[in-house]
Each structure stands twice: as structure tokens, then as C-alpha cells.
């Protein structure tokens, strides 16, 4: 198969921009103008229903999309046996331990999930930034890349350390979890690292901007990260929707990769329908079906939901670290493809 030139977008300027950050920016602007702060009185109660409803099509399927890419073929499972076979057993045992020791073990396991989630969100957005840089042909030096990485990590630490200091105990669904009781200087330190690293990265990339400009889609994940974890940190209604926007980022790329890999052989409509149905169903089973099955046996529904969310999420974080190494034989890297190629007739050398 003849190699295609890199395309800046997975789908199109409008679609990529909406999924990568514009939708979340518009949501932030709306809630920033109507509510702010961590107080429950400043939480729009309607957003709870919105977040719970959209989780069916945004948050939950993005977990199963990861599993789909890993478990779709026996060859992939054999390539990553530790992640595909051993880790699910370990996290199933961890979930079981949460039910056996709900007071001693469950809060610790939940704390792991709480700590890892914003880290994972930030690394995904950082990865998306690098992907669009490469698709645009932007050469980022190793030093600038490290500075960008520090910006993404320190930006989430600005929010996270503030929460750790301002709340004596954390609470999620039906479970309290311990806080780290961090010293007061940690938040300003993280803030200083964030601005300094962004300034250094900007200075390093500035020659590229002067000579050829920087595409909006490259800058969009950086702005999105800043709004998610800095300016949007105290807009609780907006914060409740971050898992949805994280999932939308992921689903855009996962779907584009699936279409590039399967669109020609199955047809775009069939490949999309199969992929969407599997991911919707698996997500619903894990996060809706299993907790309610456990509730039917007498376990608390909120606690069961939280345990499975934590267990599946942490496994997802591990899987996400390996699946992008997958490349179908005879195909170019799917991270630099465009879905329109699935409609084009196959070209041979």
C-alpha cells in the first residue's frame, strides 16, 4: 500500500476542534458565567443529570474502546499478555478486596484512582498535542517537549494540590477517602512551574511560529488543559463534565483509527456501527449492569458503581500505555491517518 502524506486532521477542522477542546471551552464559558466554586450551592443540579446521561455515550464507551483495540484479536492479546491477562485478574481481586474491606482497603484504592485520573487526563492531552505537532510537521526539540510535558503535569497539580489543602477529607459517591495534607507552598510552586515551562516551550517553538505559523489545532489542547485544571478548577458544574470531554477526545482518535484500519474491508458504516455497538454495550455492562446486579444481591449501588469505576479506570490507564504501539501489518501508523482515506480506492505500488 502506498504511504499517504500526513493530514493535519483525523476528520476535519470542525470535527477535530469540537472533540479536542472547543466543546469543553464553550461549556466552561457557560458555567463560568453562571456558577463557580466548590460549594454545593454553586452546583447546577441539572449538570448532574446531564453528566450521568452523557456518560452512556461519552465516558463509558471510551473505556471499552481501549479494551476493543487490545482484545479485538488473539494476536494483540498475545503481544501484551501482562496487560491483557494478568492485570484484569489483579484489579478484579482489588475490586473484591474493596467489598471485603470497605473501610480499610476501599478508600486507599479509591485514592489511587483519584490521584491517577487527572494525571491520565493530562498525559492524554499532552499526547494529542504532540500528535498534531507531528501531523503539522512541527519540529519540537527534546527540551521543548519536556517543557510542554511539565506544563501539562504541573497544570493539573495546581488544581489537585489546592483541593488537597482546602478539603480535610475527600468524598466521592458513597465513600470518604484520605487527603494528603500538603504544605501551602506546593500550589504556588506548581503554578510557577506551569507558567515557566509554558514560557520556555513557547520560546523554543517561537521560531517555527515566525517562519510558518502554528495551526490552531496544535494550540487547542494546550488551551484546553489550562481551562480544565486552572481557570475551570473552581467551576464545579464544569468539573463534573471533564470525564465526558476527556472521553470525547479519546473517542475521536479511537474511531478514526478504527475506520482507517477497517473501513475499506467492512465499509465505513458497518465498521462504525460495529465499533459503536460493542463499545456502548461493554461500557453499559461494566458501569450500569454489574453494579445493579450487585445491588440486587444486597450491595450498595453507589459503592458498587464506584468500585467498578475505579477498577476499570486504573486498568484502562495501563492499557492506554500499550495500545498505541499496535500497528496493523501493511498499514501506515493510524495516528497519522484521515478517515477519508477509507473511502478512497486502495492504491498499490
Query: Are the C-beta atoms of residues 191 and 158 closer than 8 Å to each other?
Result: yes
Does a structural domain hold residue 302? yes
Q: How far is residue 139 from each of residues 17, 71, 134, 324, measured CA to CA in Å?
A: 22, 34, 7, 21
Does a structural domain hold residue 4? no
Give exposure, 232-261, as e/b (b: 16+ Cβ within 10 Å).
Answer: bbbbbbbbbbbbbbbbbbbbbbbbbbbbbb
> Which residues fall within 8 angstroms of residue 200, CB to CB, at 6 or more apart?
143, 144, 147
Does a structural domain hold residue 5? no
Does a structural domain hold residue 307? yes
Which structural domain, as residue segments, surrounds residue 208?
13-342
Nearest to 318 by CA among 103, 142, 112: 112
Does a structural domain hold residue 219? yes
Does a structural domain hold residue 40? yes
For residue 153, how far is the Cα from the chain centroid?
Answer: 14
Does a structural domain hold residue 3? no
User: Tens digit of pLDDT per residue, the chain (349 long)?
Assistant: 344 445 889 999 999 999 999 999 999 998 877 765 555 445 667 888 888 899 999 999 999 999 888 888 888 888 889 999 999 999 999 999 999 999 889 988 988 898 899 999 999 999 999 999 988 888 888 999 999 999 999 999 998 888 777 666 666 666 777 777 778 888 899 999 999 999 999 898 888 776 777 889 999 999 999 999 998 887 888 888 999 999 999 999 999 888 887 767 777 888 899 999 999 999 999 999 999 999 998 989 989 999 999 999 999 998 888 777 655 544 456 667 777 766 665 544 3
Number of domains in the chain: 1
Helices (H), 175-241: 186-212, 216-226, 236-239
Query: Are the C-beta atoms of residues 144 and 200 closer than 8 Å to each other?
Result: yes
pLDDT at 99: 93
pLDDT at 24: 96
Does a structural domain hold residue 201? yes
- pTM for the whole structure: 0.88
Amino acid at each position: 500500500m502506498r504511504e499517504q502524506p500526513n493530514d493535519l486532521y483525523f476528520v476535519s477542522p470542525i470535527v477535530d476542534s469540537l472533540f479536542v477542546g472547543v466543546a469543553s471551552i464553550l461549556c466552561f464559558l457557560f458555567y463560568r458565567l453562571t456558577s463557580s466554586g466548590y460549594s454545593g450551592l454553586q452546583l447546577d443540579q441539572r449538570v448532574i443529570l446531564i453528566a450521568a446521561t452523557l456518560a452512556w455515550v461519552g465516558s463509558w464507551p471510551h473505556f471499552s474502546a481501549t479494551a476493543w483495540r487490545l482484545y479485538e484479536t488473539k494476536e494483540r492479546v498475545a503481544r501484551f499478555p501482562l496487560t491483557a491477562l494478568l492485570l484484569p485478574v489483579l484489579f478484579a481481586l482489588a475490586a473484591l478486596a474493596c467489598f471485603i474491606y470497605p473501610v480499610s482497603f476501599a478508600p486507599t484504592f479509591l485514592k489511587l484512582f483519584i490521584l491517577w485520573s487527572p494525571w491520565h487526563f493530562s498525559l492524554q492531552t499532552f499526547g494529542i498535542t504532540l500528535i498534531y505537532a507531528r501531523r503539522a510537521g512541527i519540529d519540537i526539540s527534546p527540551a521543548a517537549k519536556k517543557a510542554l510535558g511539565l506544563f501539562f503535569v504541573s497544570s493539573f497539580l495546581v488544581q489537585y494540590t489546592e483541593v488537597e489543602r482546602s478539603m480535610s477529607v475527600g468524598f466521592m459517591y458513597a465513600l470518604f477517602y484520605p487527603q494528603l495534607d500538603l504544605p501551602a507552598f506546593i500550589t504556588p510552586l506548581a503554578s510557577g512551574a506551569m507558567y515557566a515551562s509554558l514560557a520556555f516551550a513557547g520560546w523554543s517553538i517561537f521560531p517555527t511560529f515566525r517562519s510558518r505559523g502554528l495551526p490552531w489545532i496544535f494550540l487547542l489542547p494546550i488551551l484546553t488543559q489550562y481551562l480544565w485544571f486552572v481557570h475551570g478548577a473552581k467551576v464545579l458544574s464544569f468539573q463534573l463534565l471533564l470525564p465526558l470531554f476527556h472521553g470525547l477526545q479519546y473517542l475521536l482518535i479511537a474511531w478514526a483509527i478504527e475506520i482507517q484500519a477497517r473501513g475499506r474491508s467492512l465499509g465505513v458504516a458497518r465498521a462504525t456501527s460495529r465499533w459503536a455497538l460493542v463499545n456502548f454495550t461493554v461500557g453499559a455492562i461494566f458501569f450500569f449492569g454489574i453494579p445493579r446486579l450487585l445491588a440486587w444481591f444486597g450491595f450498595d449501588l453507589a459503592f458498587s458503581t464506584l468500585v467498578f469505576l475505579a477498577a476499570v479506570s486504573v486498568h484502562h490507564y495501563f492499557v492506554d500505555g500499550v495500545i498505541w504501539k499496535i500497528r496493523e501489518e501493511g498499514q501506515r501508523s493510524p495516528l497519522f491517518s484521515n478517515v477519508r482515506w477509507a473511502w478512497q480506492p486502495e492504491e498499490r505500488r
